[in-house]
Each structure stands twice: as structure tokens, then as C-alpha cells.
Amino acid sequence: MEAKELLREHFLKTISLTNEEFDYVFSHFKPISFKKNQAIISPGDEVDHEYFVINGCLKSYYLNDDLKMFILQFAMQTWWASDYNALFNQGKATTTVDCITDVDVLCLSSGDREKLCDELHQIERFFRWRSNKGYVAAHKRLLSLMNNDAKSRYEELMKLYPELYNMVPKQLIAAYLGVSRETLSRFR
Amino acid sequence: MEAKELLREHFLKTISLTNEEFDYVFSHFKPISFKKNQAIISPGDEVDHEYFVINGCLKSYYLNDDLKMFILQFAMQTWWASDYNALFNQGKATTTVDCITDVDVLCLSSGDREKLCDELHQIERFFRWRSNKGYVAAHKRLLSLMNNDAKSRYEELMKLYPELYNMVPKQLIAAYLGVSRETLSRFR
């Protein structure tokens, strides 16, 4: 499906927009292609954009002082990614967002997001709904991490991203779950 | 400060409302008082309300199969609490929300929240902003949990809730951080 239709379907799942409104909204999104392994956001960057994935798979992660990688999120088709702490608080990135595969995205700037939210109440609703979903998902993941239950984290992940197994190297899935590759292989 | 003024200030930090609009919004909030240790939400409950704290302190937590308590959130004056997974997905509560002290809240139903978001674009904006903040806070906590850095979790907590030490028993703070009381006492 082409980018425009994917974005339209994505919005129309939650809100209603006329064709004219959607065309106007869409005109604020900029298509960009990235190559496998390319970084879109790096620690220290000023972050002014978020990315709606059309094709491929992104990961966002944090490297601690021992260079251990903690994966915060994968983003595949119709998922959004950015460093939201930096984006919403106009600070600098603390995480990396990079490409697991070649990736096509639609890119939206903060200024345009706020302008669209101002102009179209339905767009404000969309972003409220999206944040609600993200908030709930983050809290679920918090609970399963605190509960230290890697098996249910694995099941959650597969429910969230059923197509993940074919797209993502196993060591990245293990890094998302916070387990070793050996532990991961026992879950499958 | 009385409840109405607290809520007004809280909204006006993010959005603008005329006095008339605020009065209208406020008319949808219902004041309720709870006693120390009283449960507001229990696992299995249908959740249709969220709570804006006027006085006192709430906690929301999850008990695992071994009855170990994981504290998801404290909520003091001007914080909001509910089981947001249940509230947003119209499912049943999996967490408990109860009172660490006597508590006064303003209660808002889901139906009224959606009605107000429909009627007043600024209210939709407020709730988008609030969810963005919650999303970012949950991701920060996820990273510090994955990084297993209890010291920085402690510092974050004190930044979020500087008044917490005087209001909350130490074992609850330890349960929030996922550390023992002994470890906690080394941080202070």
C-alpha cells in the first residue's frame, strides 16, 4: 500500500477526517528513506521530528555506561518512533533510533504537529488517543519488568509485534526482553 | 487551597479557559473523600473514573502471584490516578488504587471526560499533554529499571515527588524502587 493510503487508514481507525482534511494533513508529512543500520536520532541530537513507519523496522534503544543495549521500542509498519522525551520536552536525545532494515517513513515536525492539532480538533484527538495507548503499553511493560517475568514479556511482545520474528535478529529480541539468547530460545 | 482553585490552576498551567468554560468543566467533577487504607479501585473492578488528588496520597500497585507488591505510581496533590489500562480499554482493573493517608479527590467519569474533550478543544489538548507527560515518565522509569540503577531511580523519584518522604512509609518507597529497605537507607 502506498504511504498516503497507509497513513489515511491509520488516522481513520481512530478519528474521522474528510478527504480534503486528510489531504491537508498529509501535505505536512515528508517521505524519507533510510538504509539499514542508518541512525535517524543519536544521543545529544536536538529532536524535532517523529516518524511514521511505512516499510521496514526501526529500533529505539539506550546504551548504558557499560555499552549494554536496552531496547525501548521496535517500530514497524504504521508504528511511530522518536525520542519522545526529547521531542516533548525540547531537550536533547538520550536514545538512539536506527534502522534494522531499509526503512521508509513519513516524517512530521513538532511545529507541524502542533499546528495541525490547533487547526483540526480531530487531529488533537488522534494524538491524545495515541499517547494514551503508549502510556498504557509502557505501564504494562513496567509491571512485567518489575515482576521480572520474562516469559510474559515475550508473549506480550509477540502479541504487539507478531511479524517481529521474521524481521529482527534474535539478539535484539533478547535485548528488548532483557534476557540472554539462551533464555529466549526456551520460550519459542 | 480549595479543590476548585487547585483544579483551575492545574488546567491553566497548560491551556487557557475562560471562567465560564472552567465553571462548566468543573461541574463535571465530583468531590469524594476516602479514609486511610481505603481501596478506590481493586483488581477485577470495572473502571470508569479517574481521580484528581486534592489532599493526601494514593498509591497504585500490582500484587504478583507471590503477593509481592509492585508500586506503579504515587499520587499526591494535583496528580491523577486510575487503572488507566482498564479505563482506556474498558477492561477490568488489574491494579489496586488505595489511600496511604486520608484523601480528598475530584472524580471524573470517562463519559464526562470524552464529552468535555468533544465540547472544548482546549480540554482535549490538556488530556493530550497529560498523556504525553505520563508516556515520557513511564519510559524514563522503564529505562532506569532496565538499567537496574536503583540509585538514579531514587533520585528521579525524589525529583518527581519531593514531599514524598514525609508522607509515605519507607517500605512503600522501597517497593516503588524495587529495592530492600536496607538498600534504600543507603541512598539517603
Indicate the pLDDT class of residue B64, thresholds 50, 70 and 90: confident
Strand order in the sheet with B49-55: B30-34, B103-109, B49-55, B80-81
- Chain B's closest residue to A64, CA to CA, is B147
**Sequential pLDDT tens for chain A (188 residues):** 799 999 999 999 999 999 999 999 999 999 999 999 999 999 999 999 999 999 999 999 998 878 888 899 999 999 999 999 999 998 999 999 999 999 999 999 999 999 999 999 999 999 999 999 999 999 988 888 877 678 888 888 888 788 887 888 888 998 888 888 888 888 87
d(C-alpha B8, C-alpha A119), whole Å: 25
d(C-alpha A40, C-alpha A73), whole Å: 14
d(C-alpha B183, C-alpha B46), whole Å: 37
d(C-alpha A66, C-alpha B5), whole Å: 48
CB contact under 8 A, A143 and B178: no
The strand pair at B69-75 and B80-81 is best described as unpaired
- The answer to whether residue A177 is domain-embedded is no
Range(s) of the domain holding residue A97:
3-133
CATH number at residue B22: 2.60.120.10
A85 in contact with B at a CB cutoff of 8 Å?
A: yes
Q: Which residues contact A148 (CB under 8 A, 6 or more apart)?
A: none
DSSP assignments along chain B, one per residue:
--HHHHHHHHHHTT----HHHHHHHHTT-EEEEE-TT-EEE-TT-B--EEEEEEES-EEEEEE-TT--EEEEEEE-TT-EES-HHHHHHT-B--SEEEESS-EEEEEEEHHHHHHHHHH-HHHHHHHHHHHHHHHHHHHHHHHHHHTT-HHHHHHHHHHH-TTHHHHS-HHHHHHHHTS-HHHHHHH-
Q: What is the pLDDT of residue B154?
A: 87
Number of domains chain A contains:
1
Residue carrying C-alpha cell 514479556:
A153
* Residue A46, C-alpha cell as written in the block: 536536538
The ipTM estimated for the assembled molecules is 0.91
Which member of A84, A139, A149 has the closest CB to residue B72? A139
Based on its alpha-carbon atoms, the radius of gyration of chain B, rounded to whole angstroms, reads 17
Range name among A54-58, B21-25, B135-139 with the lowest pLDDT average: B135-139
On chain A, the residues whose CB falls within 8 A of the CB of B72 are 139, 142-143
d(C-alpha B182, C-alpha B167), whole Å: 19
The three-state secondary structure class of A18 is: coil
- Chain A's closest residue to B95, CA to CA, is A143
* CA–CA min distance A85, chain B (Å): 5
The three-state secondary structure class of B161 is: coil
d(C-alpha A167, C-alpha A100), whole Å: 8
The strand pair at A69-75 and A103-109 is best described as unpaired
Residue B47 and residue B60 in contact, taking contact as beta carbons nearer than 8 Å: no
d(C-alpha A62, C-alpha A119), whole Å: 35
- The answer to whether residue A116 is domain-embedded is yes
- Chain B's closest residue to A142, CA to CA, is B142
Angle, CA of B162, B168 and B170, to the nearest 5° = 100
Range name among A31-45, B7-21, B163-177 with the lowest pLDDT average: B163-177
Residue carrying C-alpha cell 477490568:
B92
* Helix H or strand E segment including A145: helix A121-146
* CA–CA min distance B46, chain A (Å): 16
* pLDDT per position as a tens digit, B74-91: 999 999 999 999 999 989
φ, ψ for residue B150 (rounded to 5)?
Answer: -65, -30
Residue carrying C-alpha cell 515527588:
B161
Q: Quick one: average pLDDT of B47-62?
A: 96
B134 in contact with A at a CB cutoff of 8 Å?
A: yes
- Chain A's closest residue to B149, CA to CA, is A64
B164 in contact with A at a CB cutoff of 8 Å?
A: no
CB contact under 8 A, B140 and A85: yes
Residue carrying C-alpha cell 514524598:
B164
Q: What is the pLDDT of residue A68?
A: 85
Q: Residue B44 carries which side chain, given as an amino acid letter?
A: G
